[in-house]
């Protein structure tokens, strides 16, 4: 079964086989996404993917996958120079995640996936995953699609923009939004922007490393876009979602087999 936590009753949750259940905690953001996308982009994309995962539920036979209520605000202080961004401080966000994980653990669940769609949350997810392991004995996994190879195969097939085309409010996110909620996307306002020159090129300090700078969004982009949204299409968006569902099912099947 794949279901939302909030749609199950007390007794249904209590009776789940905790050895065969994975709980995912969706972490996203409410933050500026350039002139053409809504501030809820990361949350909308994650909700849409969860809907599609639930539809694909009969193809997951390894037990139960339960999506906890999504946290639609994350750590987005890098975007605070732009209107509409809401953010927790690192301390608040850490405390929230720690409290929610304590509840999930208290109710007997053993496997927790921090299910993250916002690059600014990645460091927090990785940091707290180890603490949750130590504090509650949970098996904790970090699902992150920004600083991992998650999208690599799909991008190889569909990305038409250049090296910096997929980053923020970009070809990937705009395509996903054209598929998920086209009425909120204003393609006539979309602009492409590469990161500022000091963070690009064939040298050490770039937005892709190997040396990272502690930048805020205004340091990197004037428009608030990093990437090439003008290459986005609804068709690509549907393909990206289909790819994500298949890959996520495979990831969850693998996690279901791990015990540590």
Residue placing its CB nearer to Zn ion in the complex, 223 or 256: 223
Residue placing its CB nearer to Zn ion in the complex, 21 or 41: 41
Residues 55-94 as x/- pattern, contact with Zn ion by CB under 5 A: ----------------------------------------
Residue placing its CB nearer to Zn ion in the complex, 41 or 221: 41
Q: How far is the CB of 31 from Zn ion (least distance, A)?
A: 7
**Strand, coil or helix: 199:** helix
**Strand, coil or helix: 168:** strand
Spatial strand order of the sheet with 111-116 comes to 2-4, 64-67, 21-27, 111-116, 139-144
Phi, psi of 75 (to 5 degrees): -100, 105
Rounded CA-CA distance 239/233 in Å is: 10
Q: Report residue 182 as tokens.
A: 């086209």
Residues binding Zn ion: number (CB under 5 A): 3
Does residue 171 touch Zn ion according to CB under 5 A? no
* Beta bridge partner(s), residue 193: 227
Rounded CA-CA distance 189/192 in Å is: 10
Stretch that binds Zn ion, among 46-54, 61-69, 72-80, 165-173 (CB under 5 A): 165-173
Cis (ω within 30 of 0) for the bond into 210? yes
Residue placing its CB nearer to Zn ion in the complex, 138 or 166: 166
Does residue 42 touch Zn ion according to CB under 5 A? yes
Q: What residues numbered 143-162 form the site for Zn ion, per CB under 5 A? A: none
Stretch that binds Zn ion, among 39-47, 62-70, 94-102, 143-151 (CB under 5 A): 39-47
Closest CB to Zn ion: residue number = 42
Residue placing its CB nearer to Zn ion in the complex, 40 or 64: 40
Stretch that binds Zn ion, among 1-9, 37-45, 138-146, 233-241 (CB under 5 A): 37-45
Angstrom CA distances, 212 to 153, 166, 168, 207, stand at 25, 18, 17, 6
Which residues sit at the interface with Zn ion, rule CB under 5 A?
Answer: 41-42, 173
């Amino acid at each position: 079964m794949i279901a939302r936590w909030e749609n199950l009753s007390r007794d249904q949750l209590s009776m789940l086989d905790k050895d065969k259940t994975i709980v995912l905690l969706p972490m996203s953001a409410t933050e500026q996404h350039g002139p053409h996308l809504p501030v809820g982009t990361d949350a909308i994309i994650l909700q849409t993917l969860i809907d599609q995962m639930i539809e694909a539920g009969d193809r997951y036979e390894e037990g139960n996958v339960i999506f906890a209520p999504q946290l639609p605000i994350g750590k987005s202080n890098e975007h605070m120079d732009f209107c509409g961004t809401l953010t927790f401080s690192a301390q608040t966000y850490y405390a929230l995640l720690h409290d929610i994980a304590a509840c999930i653990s208290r109710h007997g669940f053993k496997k927790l996936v921090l299910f993250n769609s916002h690059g600014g949350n990645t460091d927090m997810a990785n940091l707290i995953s180890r603490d949750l392991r130590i504090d509650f004995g949970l098996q904790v996994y970090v699902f992150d699609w920004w600083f991992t190879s998650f999208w690599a195969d799909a991008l190889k097939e569909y990305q038409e923009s250049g090296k910096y085309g997929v980053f923020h409010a970009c070809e990937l996110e705009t395509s996903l939004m054209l598929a998920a909620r086209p009425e909120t996307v204003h393609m006539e306002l979309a602009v492409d922007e590469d990161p500022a020159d000091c963070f690009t090129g064939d040298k050490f300090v770039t937005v892709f490393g190997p040396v990272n700078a502690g930048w805020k969004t205004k340091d990197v982009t004037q428009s608030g876009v990093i990437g090439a949204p003008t290459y986005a299409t609804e068709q690509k968006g549907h393909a990206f979602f289909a790819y994500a569902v298949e890959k996520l099912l495979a990831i969850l099947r693998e996690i279901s087999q791990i015990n540590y």
